[in-house]
Amino acid sequence: MSNQVAIAIAAHPDDIEFQMAGTLALLRKAGYTTHYLTLASGNCGSAEYSSATTRAIRNTEARAAAKILGAEFHPCLTDDLEIIYSVELLRALAAVIRDIKPNVILTHSPQDYMEDHVNTSRLAVTAAFARGMANFRTAPPRQVANHPVTVFHAMPQGLRDPLRRLIIPGAFVDTGSVQKLKRQALSAHKSQQHWLDVSQGMDSYLLAMEDMSLEVGRMSKRFQHAEGWRRHLHLGFCAPDDDPLAEALGRAYLVNRAYERSLKSDGQ
């Protein structure tokens, strides 16, 4: 394989750290070039600072987090609550996809607790779909890229869809070996931390991430800390059985047989 490139596309600074950073870090260990992109600036993530100040603070924090993860940082494209499924954002995101030609895209769940996440997922999927369409204009203009790409959707916030239904992962990634790195990357988002227990050096922000990875680990029945993924239908993207995470991660990757069975019983 010549082109081993992965990009995490999330909505807000720190979303990658919560749901995707372990897998991104493991891909890097496996030889991938990795990229880090959040569509929104995080400008609404403060009650004390102005939008402009918060945007600047969070840009610095996200850059630091990407560096910790060893991923190339891409600047955000819009502000919080303004991730609309728009042609403007689609052109900008498709330009990034054509530039870096990822064979793995990690993005949000198509069902998630807020629209910024849902729209990020939709934009990432369509930007990937448009990679080879010569008549689709990107901004800035970029040559088409006709490479296979596999899209993976992360677990939603709270592991549930907006109608409160539990989401079952199609596969689990054992993030135990990179859990420390994931914590360090999340810690880079200093403005988002609310210290509860100074004596232990832990805060609720870090614990929330830990709780989520432990919960997904329990769902796996094998790993202690895990991230969960659902692979997007291949049509328009890659061959039916392409699973580059399985190839790259080996024993750290576990297909959820129960999920696979549920696909068959649906007649798919």
Q: Pick from 12, 98, 131, 230: which binds Zn ion (CB under 5 A)?
A: 12
> Is residue 65 within 8 Å of residue 36, measured between CB atoms?
yes
Other Cβ atoms less than 10 A from the Cβ of 170: the count is 20
Residue type, 137: R
Write down the least CB distance from residue 132 to Zn ion, Å.
29
The nearer residue to Zn ion, 11 or 167, going by C-beta atoms, is 11
8 binds Zn ion (CB under 5 A): no
Nearer to Zn ion, 106 or 145 (CB): 106
Long-range contacts of 130-137 (CB under 8 A, 24+ apart): 130/90, 130/94, 130/97, 131/94, 131/97, 131/98, 131/101, 136/94, 137/91
CA angle 231, 235, 241 (to 5 degrees): 55
112 binds Zn ion (CB under 5 A): no
Q: Is 254 left (phi over 0), alpha (psi -120 to 50) or beta?
A: beta
Residue choice 4, 15, 55, 108 for contact with Zn ion (CB under 5 A): 15
Q: Using the rule CB under 5 A, is 80 a contact of Zn ion?
A: no
Minimal distance in Å, beta carbon 17 to Zn ion? 11
Region 183-212 residues binding Zn ion, contact defined as CB under 5 A: none
Which of 23, 192 has the CB closer to Zn ion? 192
Q: Does 11 bind Zn ion (CB under 5 A)?
A: yes
The least CB distance from residue 76 to Zn ion, in Å, is 12
Report in angstroms how near the CB of residue 115 gets to Zn ion at its nearest.
10
Q: Which is nearer to Zn ion, 12 or 225 (CB)?
A: 12
Considering the complex, state which of residue 64 and residue 255 has its C-beta at the smaller distance from Zn ion.
64
- Tokens 């969960």 correspond to 228
Please give the full DSSP string across 196-248, using - where no structure is assigned: EEGGGTEEHHHHHHHHHHHHHHHHHTS-SSEEEEEEPP-TTTS-TT--HHHHH
Size of the site for Zn ion (CB under 5 A): 3
The identity of residue 28, as a single letter, is R
Nearest to 152 by CA among 23, 12, 1, 15: 23
35 touches Zn ion (CB under 5 A) = no
Q: Give the span between the Cα atoms of 62 and 185, in whole angstroms.
A: 9
Q: Which stretch binds Zn ion (CB under 5 A): 7-15, 206-214, 235-243, 258-266?
A: 7-15
Q: Is 21 in the site for Zn ion (CB under 5 A)?
A: no
Using CB under 5 A as the criterion, which residues of the chain lie in contact with Zn ion when the complex forms? 11-12, 15
